[in-house]
Amino acid sequence: MKKILIAEDDANIRAGLIDLFESDGFDVCAVGDGATALGQYAAGRFDLVLLDVMMPEKSGYDVCREIRKSDSRVPIIMLTAKGEEIDKVVGLQLGADDYVTKPFGVHELLARVEAVLRRAGETNPTSSIPDTFSFGAATVDCRAYTISMAGNSEPLSHRELELIRFFHEHAGEVLSRNQLLDAVWGVGYFGTTRTLDQHVSKLRKKMEADPANPSALRTVHGVGYRYCP
pLDDT digits over 6-44, tens only?
Answer: 999 999 999 999 999 999 999 999 999 999 999 999 888
Looking at residues 194-211, what average pLDDT do you find?
91
| Whole-number Å distance between alpha carbons of 69 and 187 | 30
| Whole-number Å distance between alpha carbons of 53 and 2 | 23
pLDDT at 220 over 80: yes
Confidence of residue 125 (pLDDT cuts 50, 70, 90): very low
Break the chain into its structural domains and give their ranges: 3-121, 132-227
Q: What pLDDT sits at residue 7?
A: 96
Q: Lowest-pLDDT range, 65-69, 122-126, 178-182, 216-220?
A: 122-126
List of residues 6+ apart from 28 with CB closer than 8 A: 3, 4, 6, 17, 18, 21, 22
The share of the chain scoring above pLDDT 70, in percent, equals 91
The winner for highest mean pLDDT among 1-5, 156-160, 187-191 is: 1-5
pLDDT at 123 over 60: no
Q: Could you read off the pLDDT of 165-182 as tens digits, one per residue?
A: 899 999 999 999 988 988
Q: Could you read off the pLDDT of 66-91 as tens digits, one per residue?
A: 998 888 788 999 998 766 667 677 77
List of residues 6+ apart from 11 with CB closer than 8 A: 32
Cβ atoms of 97 and 130 within 8 Å: the answer is no
pLDDT at 157 over 90: no
Confidence of residue 195 (pLDDT cuts 50, 70, 90): confident
The fold for domain 132-227 equals Arc Repressor Mutant, subunit A (1.10.10)
Looking at residues 201-217, what average pLDDT do you find?
93
Assign domain 3-121 one CATH number from 3.40.50.2300, 3.40.50.720, 3.20.20.140, 3.30.43.10.
3.40.50.2300
